[in-house]
Copies of this chain bind each other. A is one copy, B any other.
Amino acid sequence: MSAEIICVGTELLLGDILNSNSQFLAQQLAKLGIPHYYQTVVGDNPERLKQVIKIAISRANILIFTGGLGPTPDDLTCETIADFFGVPLVERPEIIEDIAHKFAQRDRVMSPTNRKQALIPQGAEVLPNPTGTAPGIIWQPRSEITIFTFPGIPHEMHRMWQETAVPFLQNQGWGKEIIYSRSLRFWGIGESALAEKVSSYFNLPNPTVAPYAGKGEVRLRISAKANSAAAAEELIVPIEQQLKEIAGLDYYGADDETLASVVGVLLRAAKETVSVAESCTGGGLGQMLTEISGSSDYFWGGVISYDNSAKARLLGVNPEDLDKFGAVSATVAEQMAIGVKSRLETTWGLSITGIAGPGGGTETKPVGLVYIGLAGPKDEVKSFEYRFGTMRDRWFIRHLSACTALDLLRRRLLSR
């Protein structure tokens, strides 16, 4: 029993989009213990798609298609699969009803072209799409072949996969040895420095440990092969504990945890609150904090003081200091943090002011220079200077600034 991932779309052949669907499905198949040995990308072309299906059924039993389920004429996946197996398409009224209902919810009228999305091969089950109009199918056109189709839009596909495909696949008992992974996340240490500290772990046979770096953070992935999640957990936990101990405060969380979620857990536990004052990040720090549902328990708001007038008017930063030291300075960062904390009466005030570039840098204040201010209980306030470098782009400097601010608060909350 093995699967093949088949992504359909001329946009993939033109390089217009990155094929993140393959990676998602590959990870998911590994989690389910279903082996897969091939991934194929093909354009919106019925003849070539049929060739791909012919090859795939000769080497795999589970064919997972993404893309080509939309309402437009170039969306041909479903009808081409049906045609390949010589089965007619039938219109399913419940799909039309569902699509019409979704349009109505958005105060729109379903367009006639959407009817096409209700055409499903005879005998196939509908794989419902809770967030979009294109349903998928689960279909066994022959006894040894199972076909899944998903729309190419990642968030729609993810949800359909989790809600319908995963339970279906689990029920079939096709999963063999499960590969179970945990990612440990680190902030404030480079990949090679961390790798040196834990190098002896890279030769373990099971679980394996491998480092990854990206977007300013380093991760160590612990992967165990086992027959059950519980058995994998037994293999992973001791290694996880040892790695955490070695890394100390540089370790911040695992798997889906983020710096913002970890800070949220700490603030909620301490019954404390935070507010933010942002210059160069322009709202990015507040956005990170509020990605967490329920963050209103500890995040009360903030000020985006992009222009100097906003720093003075909304935060009470001294205009003379703005003139004398400049907006990107330690004292302005501290005044911003104090200003927002006192105006919103929160336990902590966190501020960022810096030069995100590409313009605006000078000899003494180059692109990447960032000051982060942290005001806390008993009128304590500190600022921290960072030089994120002239070679990083605007996105990365802003991302590092917001993450580093969260990391500073995290370390402060853990060190008392």
Main secondary structure of the interface of A (DSSP, over half): mixed
Whether the pair A301, B305 counts as a contact (CB closer than 8 A) is yes
Whether the pair B30, A14 counts as a contact (CB closer than 8 A) is yes
Whether the pair B19, A72 counts as a contact (CB closer than 8 A) is no
Whether the pair B202, A73 counts as a contact (CB closer than 8 A) is yes
A40 contacts across to B, CB distance below 8 A: 38-41
> In the complex, which of the residues A23, A202, A310 has the most CB atoms of chain B within 10 Å of its own CB atom?
A310
> In the complex, which of the residues A45, A72, A295 has the most CB atoms of chain B within 10 Å of its own CB atom?
A72
Q: Contact check: which of B45, B210, B304, B391 meets A303 at CB < 8 Å?
A: B304
Asked if A283 is an interface residue, CB under 8 A from chain B, the answer is yes
| A192 and B113 in contact, given A15-B25, A202-B73 (Cβ under 8 angstroms) | yes
A136 contacts across to B, CB distance below 8 A: none
Interface 9-residue window, one of A226-234, A238-246, A285-293, A376-384: A285-293
Asked if A79 is an interface residue, CB under 8 A from chain B, the answer is no
Name which residue of chain B comes closest to A395, CB basis: B291
Whether the pair A314, B293 counts as a contact (CB closer than 8 A) is no
Interface 9-residue window, one of A48-56, A88-96, A142-150, A404-412: A48-56
Interface 9-residue window, one of A169-177, A211-219, A318-326: A211-219
The docked-state distance in angstroms from the alpha carbon of A203 to that of B72 is 11
Asked if A338 is an interface residue, CB under 8 A from chain B, the answer is no
| A278 and B286 in contact, given A304-B304, A343-B313 (Cβ under 8 angstroms) | yes
Asked if A122 is an interface residue, CB under 8 A from chain B, the answer is no
| A15 and B23 in contact, given A72-B202, A306-B300 (Cβ under 8 angstroms) | yes
> In the complex, which of the residues A131, A284, A294, A301 has the most CB atoms of chain B within 10 Å of its own CB atom?
A301
10 residue pairs A–B, Cβ–Cβ below 8 Å: A10-B210, A14-B27, A71-B191, A71-B192, A105-B387, A110-B192, A111-B195, A153-B213, A283-B286, A303-B304
Q: Identify the 8 closest CB pairs spanning chains A and B, nearest first.
A: A282-B290, A283-B286, A283-B283, A15-B27, A15-B26, A301-B310, A39-B41, A300-B307
Q: A284-B290, A302-B303 are in contact. List 13 more A-B contacts (CB 8 A).
A: A11-B221, A12-B22, A12-B39, A37-B43, A40-B41, A73-B203, A278-B283, A283-B302, A286-B304, A286-B306, A300-B307, A301-B310, A310-B344
